[in-house]
Amino acid sequence: MTAQPAVDHVDTISLVSALLTRYPELSSIRSMPAQRTLALTFAVRKRFDRDAQARIVESLEDHVGAFLAMRRDEADVVTVAIEVDRAMSFIHVTRDLASFSNDELDLVVKLFVAQFGDALVRVAADSTGDAEEIAAQHEIAEYAIETLRESRQSKSLVGFREEERVLVYFTTSRKARKASGRR
């Protein structure tokens, strides 16, 4: 039996930050180690009706399914939920960490960029990086996903953007407590 590499909370936070930096199209990332899943959220400056939502879900599931079939892999979890606000839609993609990869994340991002164009909310990225810098960012993103997959931490982790900053914090699941009555 081989020991898992020790990754402390600071390393995990840095790696989630690296994913959000590498993919400016991502609004948030949530790692849920207890369920062995990762949830990605994308924001679109459009209000999708039910038909559009169904088409988005079907398209994403088809693309991910085809991608996994090419890799001769299967997913335990592929769920897509769309939350609609007045002028925005938030697409939540939840994947199992066992079969999720950086290449799949690249595919999903490219699919959303092609489908939504300028309506896809993204942070202005510094696109002046050369091929070596882009390759290094890709390697860091691969390492981040692998580390999240192998991590033994029990706390959920949420990373999101606020203005021009990336914020990452740990969450713990607490049972709801009944409020005590006042006398």
> Is residue 4 pLDDT above 60, yes or no?
no
Least confident of 8-17, 55-64, 120-129, 170-179: 170-179
Q: Which of 107, 92, 94, 101 is nearest to 73 (CA)?
A: 101
- What local confidence, expressed as pLDDT, does residue 177 receive? 43
The total number of structural domains that make up the chain: 1
- Burial of 160 per CB tally in 10 Å (0-12, 13-18, 19+): middle
Domain-embedded: residue 2: no
Residue 108 makes CB contacts below 8 A (sequence gap 6+) with 40, 60, 63, 64, 93
Distance between CA atoms of residues 123 and 106, nearest Å: 16
Q: Which of 66-70, 147-151, 152-156 has the highest mean pLDDT?
A: 66-70
Say if 181 falls within a structural domain: no
Whether 176 is in a domain gets the answer: no
Residue 178 lies in a domain: no
Q: Is 179 within the bounds of a domain?
A: no
Question: Which residue did the predictor score with more confidence, 181 or 122?
Answer: 122
55 lies in some domain: yes
Asked if the structure places residue 59 within a domain, the reply is: yes
Q: What is the mean pLDDT of residues 109-125?
A: 92
- 34 residue type, one letter: A
Task: Quote the domain boundaries for residue 123.
Answer: 9-171
Residue-level pLDDT at 176: 43
Residue 1 in any domain: the answer is no
